[in-house]
Amino acid sequence: MNKEKKRELLLPGDIIEEEDCRPGRGTYKKERNIYASKLGVKTFRSGYVNIAAQRGRYDPNRGDKVIGTVTDLNPSIWMVDINAAFSAILHVNDVPWRVEFGDTISYIDVGDAILVKISNVDELKKVQIRMDEEGLRKLNSGQIIEIAPSQVPRVIGRKGSMITMLKNYTGCRIFVGQNGRIWIDGDLEGQYIAVKAVQMIEEKAQAVGLTDAVKEFLKNETGKDFDQEE
Amino acid sequence: MGMDSDIKLIDENGLRLDGRKFDELREIKIEAGVLQRADGSAYLTWGENKVMAAVYGPRELHPRHAQNPSKAVVQARYNMAAFSVSDRKRPGPDRRSVEISKLISEALEEIVFVEQFPRAAVDVFIEVLEASAGTRCAALTAASVALADAGIPMSDMIASCAAGKIDGHVVLDLGQKEDNFGEADVPLAIVPRTDKVTLLQMDGDLTTEEFDKAMELAVGACKEIYEIQRDALKRRYSTSLEGYEDFEEDE
């Protein structure tokens, strides 16, 4: 990994000057050159050069865990809004219950929030999701807030440092969906502080020493100090 | 266009009404990401023109019969505010704004990778808050910054500018009076990296030589405008990359 101190922002149409790389996400190839197709910074992974988009809607990826809300249902499927360009489809075979034909409504209703995994995205961008794996479920309590999908890595932090800290200080259960939806559940006081902290992360995502600033904020708000206990 | 009058548009020093030279643009300023609720946005001032553009999507297109199963539809809506001109403009779409909306939609469809989003729509809303000639170029310039700001995959941006003819001279970027009392107006839009023309109209008459001259001026200006567009986006988002490497490759 190259570690330049400040990364260069690429704009749509900018040439990516890299050799021996294949064009990955957020790029396109034309006449032997690779160009950026989105506003973002370049990253490398297994021989591909990608653009990590700084802006834009959630782009569904197989294997992502996301938080969706049910918008419609029929006897055998639920339509789920996952904050992407298209609604995702949840089929009765992909839920942890045995659902009789036509009985979908008694399990998940319109407006319910669910934690799901993207099982497939086809060429037509039809998204299939599943809920029959460990940890995937209906979200019955707590609240959901939304941030820009590009800021998700910041809320999670390096090796999950930020999210672990949030959980420890607020005592809340928190899940960050790759689509920018964050589920927070716990006592009201903790929820309130967690929401504030996430807003702070989103606002000051660029700030140097963000983790420390958030820790300071959490210490002040909660009156806890995990540094001294250690 | 081509109204007969005795108004002099060029003075004895070879300068235009607002003191510009023949090949000089009005001042252009662009700000990206100005609206909180839109996926992407841009605010542009171009001389006296004030234009706001907002982009939503890609999102599901309704009504469904308008969907295209093989690509996304770019829907631009150009609208002039009632207070954008000196006489109140009757609000709502009219012949002119429907035409401009169509032109802009078709120009933008050239750069957006529409095939990546079958059945979807990319909505572009352009509000002209104040108008003073050249609003279709201003609108297209702002719209393409807003598209890039919305993170929509595209091959490049579009820059747009008009040239025209006043008092027998070919000049760049007509102002309000020049537009009203001049002889011709040629709005042009290009994809700067490839010089591909995505919009070209002509109102009034030009000889072939004059037309070539007008094209040359407008293409040159588009490249200048392209730099302003890029600068707007870089100013808005470069700072947010400080400390970025701390978060790289996290899951």
Let me know if residue A210 belongs to a domain.
yes
Task: Name the H helices within chain A.
Answer: 152-156, 161-170, 188-203, 210-222, 226-229
Taking alpha carbons only, the member of B94, B177, B86 closest to residue B133 is B177
Let me know if residue B11 belongs to a domain.
no
8 Å CB contact of A55 and B149: yes
CB contact B69 to A (< 8 Å) = yes
Please tell me which of the candidates B241, B245, B247 has its beta carbon nearest to residue A3: B245
Let me know if residue A60 belongs to a domain.
no
Let me know if residue A120 belongs to a domain.
yes
| A148 shares a domain with A213 | yes
> Between vectors from CA B84 to CA B80 and to CA B85, what angle results, nearest 5°?
115
The ipTM is 0.87
Domain that includes residue A118, residue range? 65-139
In CATH, what number is assigned to the domain containing residue B79?
Answer: 3.30.230.70
Let me know if residue A58 belongs to a domain.
no
- Say if residue B178's pLDDT is above 50: yes
Let me know if residue A2 belongs to a domain.
no
In CATH, what number is assigned to the domain containing residue A196?
Answer: 3.30.1370.10
Let me know if residue B19 belongs to a domain.
no
Let me know if residue B21 belongs to a domain.
no
In chain A, the number of structural domains is 3
Please tell me which of the candidates A28, A124, A159 has its beta carbon nearest to residue B250: A159
In chain B, the number of structural domains is 1
Per-residue confidence at B2, pLDDT binned at 50, 70, 90?
A: low
| A154 shares a domain with A97 | no
Let me know if residue B250 belongs to a domain.
no
User: Average pLDDT in the A176-198 region?
Assistant: 94
| A218 shares a domain with A147 | yes
| A38 shares a domain with A25 | yes
In CATH, what number is assigned to the domain containing residue A105?
Answer: 2.40.50.140
Let me know if residue B12 belongs to a domain.
no
Q: Which residue of B has its CA nearest to A12?
A: B156
- What 3-state DSSP class applies to B162? strand
Domain that includes residue B118, residue range? 28-236
User: Average pLDDT in the B205-213 region?
Assistant: 96
What is the tens place of the pLDDT at every residue in B93-137? 999 999 999 999 999 999 999 999 999 999 999 999 999 999 999
Q: The dihedral of CA B96, B98, B101, B102: what is its sign?
A: negative
Which of A2-11, B35-44, B166-175, B177-186 comes out lowest in average pLDDT?
A2-11
- What 3-state DSSP class applies to A95? coil
Kindly calculate the radius of gyration of chain B based on its CA atoms and give it in whole angstroms: 19
- Chain center to CA of A164: 16
